[in-house]
Structure 1
Amino acid sequence: MTTEQARPMGRSRSIMTELVFPTDTNHHGTMFGGTLMNYIDKISAIAAMRHCSKPVVTASTDSLDFLAPIRMGETVELEAFVTWTHRSSMEVYVVVRAENLFTGDRRVTCTAFSTFVAVDENGKPVAIPSVLPENDAERKLHDSAPERYEMRKKRRAQRYSTTE
């Protein structure tokens, strides 16, 4: 991490809201998982860039948990923020909520953790500032992040290819 002062988690907080149309759904009338994954990657990248003020690339997405369906006609709200940083990488947490605009019913439908790497104009990793949690919920995510980081490292080391 740079010697630059730590930045509060709130600085990276980003919110995206979309209405779910028929073209966003599958034959069950619920949102395509791939469409939601696209939204998650976009909002995560925005949060990461807000934190480090640099271009970023997606390094991984893990712990993508679909908890409940999102139905056609509902809104989908994605909230993302940086929870932890390493030298040039940062973990971004996303929570997805669906809302029925007629009843006001809101529910968490998905959560995800993604890792982004800040890069320079040549695509090389660059150091970034650390992140500072501002409340108990953020502290909990921040304090548990090193364990998730180690699990990602272990998973990368165990990768294999069927073409090798």
Structure 2
Amino acid sequence: MTKRKAPAESSVEENVYKVFPNDLNSEYTVFGGLVMGLCDRTALIVAERHSGHTCVTAAVDSLNFLSPARAGETLIVKAAVNRSWRSSMEIGVHVAAENSHSGESRHVVSAYLTFVALDERGKPTSVPEVMPRSKTEKRRFEEAQSRRDQRLANRSPG
């Protein structure tokens, strides 16, 4: 059976979240767990859209906080499928904090998450192959394989 293929741009998602005072930690910046949850949820939408199946988070390869976000800013969470394998997919996430008044935005978080697609019995199932087209998509496609190789090399036996 030939594996299905899907263009990388067909599985892209953007969500926004307005930051309020109750979203802040003791340093008056956005609570990191909130941003982690936004990354996971947005990446899940991308994984399920790409695979056509229920998906679960299998790994977070990295989640880097680059700059704090504050109350009143809007978080813009963008996620896209970078690469897929048999039943897993790497989703890249970029979070920006935007000042709604000035329009200025800055990059606050980058993350890479791996999801596994499940069939109706809860078992891993095959997903469409990613077809990168743009130069950026091709770069992300290649870098995803390097991250996967590293992740598999770091797995402890058993």
Give me the TM-score of the superposition, normalised by structure 1. 0.92
1:132 deviates by 1.0
1:53 deviates by 0.7
1:8 deviates by 0.8
- Does residue 146 of structure 1 match 2:148? no
More strand by share: 2
- Does residue 87 of structure 1 match 2:93? no
Partners of 2:29 and 2:154 lie apart in 1 by 31
Which structure 2 residue ranges, 5 or more long, are not aligned?
none
Q: How many residues align?
A: 158
Aligned CA-pair RMSD? 1.3
Structure 1 stretches of at least 4 aligned residues deviating more than 4 Å after TM superposition: none
Identity of aligned residues (%): 40
Aligned positions of 1:124-143 closer than 5 A: 124-143=123-142
Which residue of 1 is the match for residue 42 of structure 2? 43
**TM-superposition CA deviations, 1:38-90 (whole Å, max 9, x none):** 11110000000110111101001121111000111000000001100110000
Give me the TM-score of the superposition, normalised by structure 2. 0.96
Which structure 1 residue ranges, 5 or more long, are not aligned?
160-164
1:158 deviates by 6.5
Aligned residue for 2:16, secondary structure, equals strand
Aligned residue for 1:154, secondary structure, equals helix
Select between 131-140 and 110-119 the one with higher mean Cα deviation.
Answer: 131-140
